[in-house]
Structure 1
Amino acid sequence: MVRALDLEDYVGHLIRRAEQVHTALWAAHVSREVTSQQFAVLNALARDPGIDQRTLATATSLDRSTVNHIVRRLTDQRYVTQVRDEEDRRRTLVDLTPDGEQLLGSLIPAAENVNEQLLEALPAAERDLAVSVLRKISHLDGAVGR
């Protein structure tokens, strides 16, 4: 008989479950139309206006094809603009439109609320540690494949 893992102690399973909880909270309290990945793109553009798509992918920890799809969709919705970089025509620069700024501004309070709801599942003394641990795990992506 094969040995089975206890999924309640398996980190990958718990991260997947936590993401399911986040996705449900996001849809219920932030937006059913704007995904958390789209929000990340809008937020990154607010922090660093006019960046190229490769930098945007790095800033959001999304692969370039996903960022390309998200930018195309947000451009179609007139939340972002895309222009060729005059200094390097291979690069496409992306920026928020006024509608994109307004959309992001309307989403931030609800996104902060979801973040608080997730952290409230933990005792106050463990919240900073939990964020720190998740940050460390999320930064393992550079080591993957080595």
Structure 2
Amino acid sequence: FLPRFQRRAWHAGAMAPRTASAAARVRAQAQGPADLKSIDVARAANAGSYHKAMSLLREGAVHVLGRALDGTVEASVRSERGNESYSVRVRPDGFGDLSAKCSCVDHKKRGGLCKHGAALVLALQHEDCGAPPAASAPSVPGTGVGQW
């Protein structure tokens, strides 16, 4: 049981536990339904994934395939070795939440924001700040993103 002032702070994300899941850390960072650009990717990503995501971004491994009106973005992200690609989808999910899905083994085992998902969010943040995305394919406007 928490005192009233601590409960309010807890619900506002100010007192998120250190052992919170990646999804909980993402919820604490996002500010609105379409606010992927405000997410602190280094903090939200699974352990060890942020620096690998930065490398993938620099190598031009992120290729945006489509965007939906609800903010969902689907992409193909090459593996670190470059021998295969993973299907990645990120979506603002409710107020201050982010849903990420990837076809890689790490995401299947740990969930959360793997290096491929983190690389996609970083690429989207680079687009939003006016910087050209690292070798991404042109986005395809659409009203939905297919299931995989």
Q: Give the structure with the higher percent helix.
A: 1
TM-score when normalising by structure 2: 0.25
The structure carrying a bigger strand percent of its residues is: 2
Bigger-Rg structure (1/2): 1
**Larger RCO (CA within 8 A; separation ≥ 6):** 2
